[in-house]
Copies of this chain bind each other. A is one copy, B any other.
Amino acid sequence: MTDAPTPPPSSSPAPKAPDASRRSERSRRAILDAALELIGETGFAKLTIEAIAARAGVGKQTIYRWWPSKAAVLFEACVLEGVDPAGVELPDTGDLAADLRTVLRATVDELNDPRLDAPTRALVSETANDPELGRALTEKVLEPQLQAYARRLRAAQEAGQVDPDADVRIALELLVGPLFHRWLNRTLPLTHAYADAVLDLALRGLAPRP
């Protein structure tokens, strides 16, 4: 977020700058942890900046100085909780099916994790109604993850394991779309077996034509 805290530069001449910087980072982490904890307890609608501040042991103004809204706090907490999106890379052992199985099963575990379920739903809920927040989340968190799928599929394409004519940016959505749909709509249980079945169908669709 553009309103993320900027620690004082380390070259600051003030003698206490390193301490202030550490304190600032500690407060920031405490606020993000508190937001994640509270969203699981109260849901987004009842989450307040006051409650986050009290749980984190900071003043309300500390939060407002760094974030414009509770949604922004939650957004950054979720970004932080996930893998650094800029550095995300799928495994590449040369076995496309095995690599994707690992990643999709891990995604199932994450979506089923009670600690992440509530904040992720709260964020989806907020972004459904707030196009600006939605675009930020898609650009900063979701799309970098999808691009990692695209890169892995492109590598498989170059290795002759995927139809050279397949559009990998679309193909990856046949993997992540069904998991997201089942999780968000709570249609049926989201399990490893489900992820494996989705993967099997998708990979058969992507196989090079004989």
Contact = CB atoms under 8 A, between A and B. Distances in A.
A166 interface: yes
A124 B197 CA distance: 26
A12 interface: no
Given A180-B177, A181-B181, A185-B138, A171 B126 contact: no
A96 to B, nearest CB: 14
A66 to B, nearest CB: 23
A182 B166 CA distance: 18
A173 interface: yes
A41 interface: no
Given A121-B128, A122-B128, A174-B178, A135 B201 contact: no
A170 B201 contact: yes
Contacts of A127: 185
A125 B124 CA distance: 7
Integer count of this chain's copies in the complex: 2
Contacts of A198: 170, 173-174
Nearest to A179: B177
B135 A186 contact: yes
Interface of A: 43-45, 121-122, 124-129, 131, 134-135, 137-138, 142-143, 146, 166-167, 169-171, 173-174, 176-182, 184-188, 194, 197-198, 200-207, 210
13 contacts: A121-B128, A125-B125, A125-B126, A125-B128, A134-B186, A137-B185, A142-B187, A143-B187, A167-B197, A170-B198, A174-B178, A174-B202, A184-B184
Given A121-B128, A204-B206, 13 more contacts: A43-B129, A124-B184, A169-B188, A170-B178, A170-B197, A170-B201, A176-B181, A177-B178, A180-B181, A181-B181, A184-B184, A201-B205, A202-B205
